[in-house]
Amino acid sequence: MATMKLFYDWMYRYSRAPWDLGPRKELVEAVESGRIQPCKAIDLGCGTASNAIFLAQHGFDVTGTDYSPASIALCQQRGAAAGVTVNWIEDDLTDLKRVHGSFDFLVDWGVYDDLTQPDRQAYLRNVLLLTHAHSRFLIYVHQWSLRWWEKSLHRLIGGMQPMQPGEVEADFSPYFTIEKITERAFSSGFVRGEAVYLMTRKGET
C-alpha cells in the first residue's frame, strides 16, 4: 500500500496520469439519461477530479476522497478552475478516519481492483458504512480470467491482481443488487478486460 501511494503521489505531482481521461462514459450516460439524479455523492479515489467535477457541474452535492495528498492538491486546483464546490478529503478507503456519513451515490473508477485481497475486505466494510438502503454504486474494475503464467506471477509477487469474472458479484451481492452495464475484452496490452457495474444497496427504506 505504501509503495502504491508513493507511485500515485509521483504521478499526480510530476506527470500526467494515463487515466486522466475526463469524466467516464458510463458515468456521463447514467447522469445525462436521468438514471442517476442529483443527490449526495462521493467519488472514491477521486484521482484527477474529472468525475467529481462532472457530478458537481450537474447539481450533485459532491465529496471527493483519495489517499494521495498530491491527488487532493490537484483536485483542489482543478475544482477551483472549474468553478465548482467539492468537499475534497484526503483519506484511506481501507481505513477511513475523515470521511463520515452516508451517501446516495458512490463512484469508484479503479480503486477496488487496485487493492490486495485483505484491503478489498476492509474497503468493502467501509463502503457499507458509507451507504444506506437504495444507495447506488457505480464501480469500474479491471477484470479477466488470469492465464496460468499470470496466476504463477501473482502467487510469486503477491499483492493485487485483476478481478476475476464473477468476483465482483461474489463480493458485493450479499449487500447490493448488481447490474453489469459494460464488459470489454482486449486482445493486446497489459489490461485484457474491464467491466462497469451499477449496484443498488439492499435493505428497507
* pLDDT tens for each residue of 155-200: 555 555 666 777 899 999 999 999 999 887 655 555 567 889 999 9
Q: What is the DSSP string of 51-73?
A: HHHHHHHTT-EEEEEES-HHHHH
Instruction: Tell me the pLDDT tens digit for each residue of 52-100.
Output: 999 999 999 999 999 999 999 999 999 999 999 999 999 999 999 999 9
The owner of cell 469524466 is 23
3-state secondary structure of 180: strand
Tally of residues, the chain: 205
| Residue ranges of domains in the chain, CATH in brackets | 2-201 (3.40.50.150)
Task: Give the global pTM.
Answer: 0.87
Residue 30 cell numbers, joined: 447514467
pLDDT tens digits for 87-135? Answer: 999 999 999 999 999 999 999 998 998 888 889 999 999 999 999 999 9
| CA atoms of 110 and 113, how far apart (whole Å) | 6
All three cell numbers of 35: 438514471
